Structure 1
Amino acid sequence: MTTGNAQQEWAYVAGVQAFIYGYPLVEIVRTCALMTAVDEPQNNGRAPINQFSHCPRPWTHEDRDVVTPANDLLYSMAWLNLADGPVMLSTPAPTGRYFVMEFIDAYSNNFQNLGPRMGGPSAATFAIVGPNWSGSLPPGSVEIRCPTNLVWMLGRVLIDGVEDMEEACAFQAGFTLRVTAPGRLPRAVAGYRPWAESGETFFANLASAMADDPPPAADTGLVAQFSRIGIAPDREFDVDALGDAQVAALRRAVAAGLEIVEGHTRSRRARSWSINYAGGRLGTDYLARACTAMKGLGALASEEALYALCDFDRNGEQLNGEHGYVLRFPAGELPPVDAFWSVSIYGSDFCFVDNPIRRYAIGDRTRDLRYGPDGSLEILIQHGQPQQGHSNWLPAPAGRFYLILRMYHPREAILSKDYTIPPVERVGEDVQR
């Protein structure tokens, strides 16, 4: 092998690794750039840096800023830049309603959660500070030290039907932010460039993001290998310094990395359900972290919520709206949780799909569910409306789709893997049941 070929192959191999490692970081920066590109808070999750957007309704097929959203909750979102000083968070007194305020760092790790199980009985004030901040805080505030200066706060407030919306929104409004310095976008966010049509642009975004928020110590050895292809946190990525063959290799690496990550978001054994028990805290499992960023950015840590993904039916066939399916929970075997559970359905673009009854999930708070005489529950998953009505109907798109079973405050039975989720059964060519 010639020296040129060796350099090209090294660029490809290192590029694939850098893509898998950096995809969550670039996706965080992309999402921040998208959601902060407004002059004032919106009601759809978008708001200027260091400000809340309180969404007064559950997300639907019309909301596409974040992949795989839930439809059971009201979202409150804020992107923080802590480089200029602390941000003060005030939280309301718990009322018995489920909520969680999730903190996600620049590398997509869920490093902190605030909720009824972690807080006291009263309203509270928290001082959110960056990794290198030092100084004094207001009396009575609780410090939350973050591993990166870029932080995504993703709040969830449970709603119990349309009639509960007003009270849920009132509780949601109790989460407020106060800044100690004017907010400004991080450099990587302000300079973010879409990379789908230019593989090398991905690596430019990655290097800029790592400069803003350096990799954790555990990643030092891996990241050092990327410097040989110009990807490093201490300098800008200069594509002109590389040869044409290396640039071509990096473009191939991005394409291959995307294929690897997308492929691993589905069960490699084509099982009906797969669960990531690490949730949003994946450490140095870089491939799992990239998969979570692609198909579930903002996932919570497992003690707060577990997410079971289903791309295949019992027979290992890809779920598709050309067929009808049933998910049957036997009596006494509903998901074991202390908060709530729901099954949501998504199209191949990782978002909700429009449907005639505007239903995107079925769960333990769904009105008018019909249970069998023995207490079992059948969820009908199909494109056309079932003959017996839509009480238990989860409308499917016409093409490929997947399901997510969310289990908030999972009990020991599911955490210890003693509980088995029933497989999704295909019911034959006739999708009208």
Structure 2
Amino acid sequence: MKRLISLFFIGLIALSGINAQGQNTSPSNQIPSYRITEYLQWYPAIKQAEMRDEWLTKYSYGEWQFSGAVTAKDRTVITPQSDVNYGYSWFNIADNPIVITMPKYQMYSSLSVFDMNHYMEVLISPDKPVVVRLPNQKNPIKDSYDIVINTIEGLAFTRHVIVNNESEVLNLVKNNQKITVGKSNKKFLIPSFTDKEAKAGLEIIKDYSLNIIKNARKLFGSEYEGVGMMDRCAGVFLGQLGTQAYVADYLQYLKDQNGDPLNGVDSYEIQVPAESLMADKNGYWSVTVYNIEDRYLIPNRKNVYNVNYYRTVKNKDGSVTVRINPKGEGDNAIPTNGKNFYGVFRVYNPKLGIVFPSIKKVD
């Protein structure tokens, strides 16, 4: 249904700019409607390239960057999770495949491989080498995981949960996480758009992301999984480098129980049930809030950005009350510092069909 909505929505965009005589009547300063549609098609690649180019100012293809615990100072990726060590390595496989190896870790870890169109493949705690290649390239290793992508550049992205062990995690990945270097002078090419075209396209993406989409479970994934153009745009806009629901399920909080947008003045609560949301003991849940204006973590004096399963004060019945208010007052509380916000509830290794708790405004 969501894909049908996406296609219908794009059709309206294309038709709205043409009158009975075939003239363009687009309200966006007479921008040809096909240019707006083309911008929407290229939006995920544009944002991937922006991230890649910024990363390449400090690092080289095949080099790992590790975040440690992310704070509000980090501007590498929007909607980050603060209790995870992220590993980033951009690669180029125009001439040769690459091989990635990850160390064994006793808690949650994963490898996501993104192409330049933000399609991805995800492996949980891979226990053997991972080969990333183009369709016309051969896998050089027999006993390996095989990931085939359709763009000559891409991103290897790892997650390791941090539970009061940041130094241990950083030492582990710095010494044992490897990626071969793919060298090539070839680049993934992206068309250019005017500021007016980009602005008009972004208005459509923002409206779809904040007002039309009702379920975040189809925002991320691969083309063959049925992820539509507008869904990918919304996924990149709301949380670039997010992953599929069967690996990490998400719920986005934008409005309270009355349908009013969340704000930085009022106080809110999320009641997490005592019954586990995870498939087994290797999973966990996390609630994080972000500034609605730029989609980054909100700076605050406590340097608290989220509440997760491992670090909570439980109620007598085993449930957990997550509190979100301006000063971060109470148990399991996240400060908004007076900033209008949205929240993301993540469940790693989730049960199938879990029901997320709602957010409610409280006195």
Question: What is the TM-score normalised by the length of structure 2?
Answer: 0.84
The equivalent of 2:285 in structure 1 is: 341
Q: Which secondary structure state, in structure 1, belongs to the residue aligned with residue 180 of structure 2?
A: strand
Residue 109 of structure 2 aligns to which amino acid in structure 1?
A: F
Alignment partner of 2:345 out of 384, 402, 405: 405
Tell me the matched-pair count: 337
1:289 matched to 2:242? The reply is no
List gaps (5 residues or longer) in structure 2: 1-17
Per-residue CA deviations over 1:266-325 (Å, capped at 9, x if unaligned) read 2548x8xx4324533364511111011111111112221111101111111111111111
Q: Percent of aligned positions with the same letter in both sequences? A: 21
Per-residue CA deviations over 1:186-222 (Å, capped at 9, x if unaligned) read 254xxxxxxxxxxxxxxxxx32xxxxxxxxxxxxxxx
Q: How far did 1:255 drift?
A: 2.4
The equivalent of 1:132 in structure 2 is: 136
Structure 1 residues 242-281: aligned runs within 5 Å: 252-268=196-212, 274-277=215-218, 279-281=220-222
Between the aligned partners of 2:335 and 2:345, the Cα distance in structure 1 is 15
Question: What is the TM-score normalised by the length of structure 1?
Answer: 0.71
Q: Is the 8 A contact 1:49 1:185 kept in 2?
A: no
The equivalent of 1:395 in structure 2 is: 335
Alignment partner of 1:371 out of 302, 308, 314: 314
The equivalent of 2:252 in structure 1 is: 309
Between the aligned partners of 1:5 and 1:279, the Cα distance in structure 2 is 36
Q: Is the 8 A contact 1:336 1:413 kept in 2?
A: no
The equivalent of 1:113 in structure 2 is: 122
Q: Which secondary structure state, in structure 2, belongs to the residue aligned with residue 104 of structure 1?
A: strand
Q: 1:138 to 1:356 in 2, by over 3 A?
A: same
Q: 1:2 to 1:169 in 2, by over 3 A?
A: closer
List gaps (5 residues or longer) in structure 1: 39-46, 189-205, 208-236, 240-249, 429-433
The equivalent of 1:19 in structure 2 is: 39
Q: Which secondary structure state, in structure 2, belongs to the residue aligned with residue 371 of structure 1?
A: coil
1:356 matched to 2:305? The reply is no
Q: Which secondary structure state, in structure 1, belongs to the residue aligned with residue 166 of structure 2?
A: helix
Residue 333 of structure 2 aligns to which amino acid in structure 1?
A: W
RMSD of the alignment, in Å? 2.7
Larger-gyration structure (1/2): 1
Alignment partner of 1:99 out of 109, 114, 121: 109
Structure 1 residues 24-423: aligned runs within 5 Å: 24-38=44-58, 47-55=59-67, 57-92=68-103, 94-110=104-120, 112-116=121-125, 119-120=126-127, 124-134=128-138, 137=140, 140-161=143-164, 164-173=165-174, 174-179=176-181, 182=183, 184=185, 186=187, 188=189, 206-207=190-191, 252-268=196-212, 274-277=215-218, 279-281=220-222, 283=226, 285-330=228-273, 332-333=274-275, 335-338=277-280, 339-348=283-292, 349-366=294-311, 369-386=312-329, 389=330, 391-414=331-354, 419=355, 421-423=356-358
Range moving further from structure 2, 393-402 or 340-349: 393-402
Residue 358 of structure 1 aligns to which amino acid in structure 2?
A: N
Residue 67 of structure 1 aligns to which amino acid in structure 2?
A: I
Q: Is the 8 A contact 1:90 1:177 kept in 2?
A: yes
The equivalent of 1:223 in structure 2 is: none
Q: How far did 1:333 drift?
A: 4.1
Residue 336 of structure 2 aligns to which amino acid in structure 1?
A: A
Between the aligned partners of 1:26 and 1:277, the Cα distance in structure 2 is 20
Between the aligned partners of 1:183 and 1:141, the Cα distance in structure 2 is 24
Per-residue CA deviations over 1:214-247 (Å, capped at 9, x if unaligned) read xxxxxxxxxxxxxxxxxxxxxxx6x9xxxxxxxx
Between the aligned partners of 2:343 and 2:162, the Cα distance in structure 1 is 21
Q: Is the 8 A contact 2:94 2:152 kept in 1?
A: yes
Q: Is the 8 A contact 1:321 1:397 kept in 2?
A: yes
Q: How far did 1:142 drift?
A: 4.8
Q: How far did 1:385 drift?
A: 3.9
Q: Which secondary structure state, in structure 2, belongs to the residue aligned with residue 83 of structure 1?
A: coil
Q: How far did 1:100 drift?
A: 0.3
The equivalent of 1:210 in structure 2 is: none
Per-residue CA deviations over 1:102-154 (Å, capped at 9, x if unaligned) read 011111011x22223xx44xxx33332223324x7256555432222111111
